[in-house]
Amino acid sequence: MTRIHPLAVVAPEATLASDVVVGAYTVIGPCVTVSRGTTIGSHVVIDGITEIGEKCHISSHVVLGAQPQIAEDRSEATRLVIGEEAVIREFASIHRGSSKGRGVTVLGQRNFVMAYAHIAHDCVLGDEVVVSSQAGLAGHVEVEERAVIGGQAGLHQFVRIGKYAMVAACSAVTQDVPPFIMAHGNRARCYGLNTVGLRRHGIPEEAVLRLKRAYRLIFLSSLNTSQALERISAEVGTCPEVEHLIHFIKTSSRGIAR
């Protein structure tokens, strides 16, 4: 049976699974769908067309599905989709998509969004992404699986963060951070391979060694990016991780952090 606190306000049109828990003073709008096993704390606001997956934990004072922070955007038809087993901590905010963007903000499965973090309109996060406290993702940011965004980091619009990358606390990111790389600073620069994260997630040692060779060619040689990618293809050898690194760099529209 759905357990809704008597002081919560849930629109009759909202769709809540039978075992969803809703805390006091929470407000849930008419176009919200909440799947089974999800717990919603007190003083939460969930608005717009918002879909929340199974077994999520949403702490107090979180705001989900609010209108994008774009002065001229008044669309009511855009969406927010949150995958299964997300943990969203106190005072975090995640906005729905915009009418001028892709129209949807998407979080994959098992994301961990810490206190006071902000994820803006049209962002796309892969699975198992960590967004640390007070980090801010501007509109249209893309974060691939298992990346970590440090506390108080700020990500510029349209920036991409590659999978298994780590952005250090208080960094200002204005260009793409390639996968498997650590970056920090204002403006953020790349400073090494995220070897601890790679090994922690079971990336084979052979792939780690090849990524190290690729990193040296891209960031520590006198080659330009095109020359470095050619040398990687010719000398480093192929594996899924190196192929993904090359593809990510080739498809970067903002350029990569150096």
CA distances from 73 to 28, 112, 205 (A): 22, 28, 48
DSSP codes joined into one string, 74-92 = --SS-EEEE-TT-EE-TT-
Structure tokens at 74: 């008044």
Structure tokens at 191: 């400073």
For residue 139, indicate whether it is catalytic.
yes
Q: Which residues contact 37 (CB under 8 A, 6 or more apart)?
A: 17, 19, 20, 54, 55, 56
Catalytic residue among 118, 121, 156, 184: 121
Catalytic residue among 41, 139, 150, 197: 139
For residue 121, indicate whether it is catalytic.
yes
Q: Which residues contact 181 (CB under 8 A, 6 or more apart)?
A: 162, 165, 166, 190, 192, 193, 194, 215
For residue 122, indicate whether it is catalytic.
yes
Amino acid at site 241: E
Sheet holding 142-143, edge to edge: 15-16, 32-34, 49-52, 79-82, 104-107, 124-125, 142-143, 160-161
Catalytic residue among 122, 136, 150, 244: 122
Which positions are catalytic? Answer: 121-122, 139
